[in-house]
């Protein structure tokens, strides 16, 4: 009666928050991987900050149109050995009061249909003395499928970032909910490297960062019982089956453990059991070993190195490489492997001055 452990992950969607100040743009693009990895929507308010660099007294709003690509879609750093890439178009409007709204679409190469979700969100962002930035937002996920319910079709996000010179510190929290619920808490540390007026570019900036993600997920697994023969005996005694002694149950269990199924079946048939009786006993025993727990813990460590190219104050090109080091939750026995991927994003910004 050897048992094999396994785990099942629920689909999940999470996203980081939009950042307004120039210094916090570091964190924004360092998380570009989450735009697809977690099913994010308004992750990259591309070059939003540039619109705030004009005189403070001007009231400037902006509209950002973007298209993004990621070479490997992941969930909480987990690729699960599925070779899939993602594409996401989106439009974000930022009002000078701090209110913003976003609509994003998501395409996955392994889904059918490949366009699988639209994300609409609204939020508010506030910057205090260009040092501390906080935001809160809510997302609604509309799936392009025929399912009646989804584990997560809404999310609430809160984030805070602190910038001191070239150093960036940030914390994001997301509550995902629908037919199920989950939490994601991510801490980040990064720094800025910038060079202005390089060739035809207004600016080139590099924003390396390190992040740690904590959260929870439903994990389904098979437990190895400490008393397998006692469990089997209790099932056979409780059911409407011919009575066996403890020694006979033990012998039957030993035959199963040694993978001698034919002999185990014959052993019970000779004692008045039917084939249906035997199947019911084995099925019930296996089902009793299946457990589902809502496990909490660190889920992933990640290193991200985005490089941002700004052109003519309107165009922004982002290339980013992310390396994930996923961590197994308790009872999650799937072999998690470190993985890396490349992401690209191109955006154009429209400015509205009042």
**Cis previous bond, 247, omega within 30:** no
Structural domain count, the chain:
2
In angstroms, the CA 204 to CA 214 distance is: 32
Instruction: Looking at the structure, tell me whether residues 317 and 169 fall in a common domain.
Output: yes
The span from the CA of 73 to the CA of 40, in Å, is: 11
Which helix (H) or strand (E) segment holds residue 219: the answer is strand 209-222
Query: Does one domain contain both 195 and 53?
Result: yes
Residue 25: the pLDDT is 37
Question: How many CB atoms lie under 10 A from the CB of residue 29?
Answer: 30
- The pLDDT tens digits of the residues spanning 199-229 come to 877 788 899 999 999 998 876 655 555 567 7
Write down the pLDDT at residue 31.
35
Q: Is position 200 within any domain?
A: yes
Cβ atoms of 260 and 254 closer than 8 Å: no
For residue 113, give the CATH number of its domain.
2.40.160.40
Residues 255, 347 share a domain: no
The whole-number pLDDT of residue 255 equals 82
Q: What is the pLDDT of residues 173-189, one digit of tens each?
A: 999 998 888 899 999 99
Q: What is the pTM of this model?
A: 0.68
Q: Are residues 251 and 204 in the same domain?
A: no
Q: Encode pLDDT of 130-154 as tens digits.
A: 788 899 999 999 998 877 778 888 9
Provide the domain limits for residue 261. 225-288
**232 and 210 together in one domain:** no
Contact 307, 265 (CB under 8 A): no
Do residues 283 and 172 share a domain? no
Separation CA 222–CA 241 (nearest Å)? 26
User: What stretches of the chain show up as alpha helix (H) in DSSP?
Assistant: 25-30, 34-37, 228-238, 246-257, 261-269, 275-288
- Please indicate, yes or no, whether residues 201 and 137 belong to a single structural domain of this protein: yes
The answer on 183 and 64 residing in a single domain is: yes
What value does the CA radius of gyration of the chain take, rounded to a whole number of Å?
A: 27
253 to each of 151, 187, 218, 259, 353, how far by Cα in Å? 39, 50, 31, 10, 79
Looking at residue 53, its pLDDT comes to 42
Please write the tens of the pLDDT for every residue from 280-325.
888 877 776 666 677 889 999 999 999 999 888 789 999 999 999 9
263 domain residue, yes or no: yes
Instruction: Say whether both 231 and 215 belong to one domain.
Output: no
């Amino acid at each position: 009666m050897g048992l094999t452990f396994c785990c099942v992950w629920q689909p999940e969607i999470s996203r980081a928050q939009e950042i307004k100040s120039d210094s916090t743009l570091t964190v924004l693009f360092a998380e570009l991987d989450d735009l697809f990895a977690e099913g994010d929507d308004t992750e990259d308010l591309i070059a939003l900050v540039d619109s705030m660099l004009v005189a403070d007294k001007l009231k400037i709003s902006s509209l950002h149109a973007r298209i993004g690509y990621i070479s490997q879609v992941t969930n909480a750093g987990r690729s699960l050995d599925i070779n899939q890439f993602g594409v996401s178009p989106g439009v974000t409007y930022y009002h000078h009061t701090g209110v913003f709204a976003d609509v994003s679409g998501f395409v996955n190469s392994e889904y059918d249909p490949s366009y699988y979700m639209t994300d609409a969100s609204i939020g508010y962002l506030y910057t205090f003395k260009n040092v501390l930035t906080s935001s809160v937002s809510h997302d609604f996920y509309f799936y392009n499928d025929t399912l009646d319910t989804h584990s997560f079709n809404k999310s609430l996000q809160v984030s805070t970032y602190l910038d001191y010179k070239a150093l960036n510190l940030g914390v994001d929290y997301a509550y995902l909910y629908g037919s199920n619920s989950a939490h994601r808490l991510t801490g980040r540390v990064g720094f800025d490297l910038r060079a202005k007026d390089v060739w035809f570019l207004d600016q080139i900036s590099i924003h390396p960062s390190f992040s740690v993600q904590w959260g929870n997920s439903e994990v389904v697994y098979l437990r190895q019982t400490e008393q397998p023969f006692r469990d089997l005996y209790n099932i056979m005694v409780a059911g409407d089956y011919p009575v066996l002694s403890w020694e006979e149950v033990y012998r039957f269990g030993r035959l199963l453990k040694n993978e001698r199924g034919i002999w185990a079946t014959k052993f019970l048939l000779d004692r008045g059991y039917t084939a249906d009786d035997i199947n019911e006993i084995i099925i019930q025993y296996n089902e009793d070993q299946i457990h589902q727990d809502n496990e909490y813990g660190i889920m992933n460590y990640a290193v991200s190195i985005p490089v941002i190219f700004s052109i003519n104050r309107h165009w922004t090109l982002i290339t980013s490489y992310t390396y994930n080091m996923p961590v197994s939750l308790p009872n999650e026995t799937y072999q998690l492997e470190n993985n890396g991927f490349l992401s690209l994003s191109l955006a154009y910004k429209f400015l509205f001055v009042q």
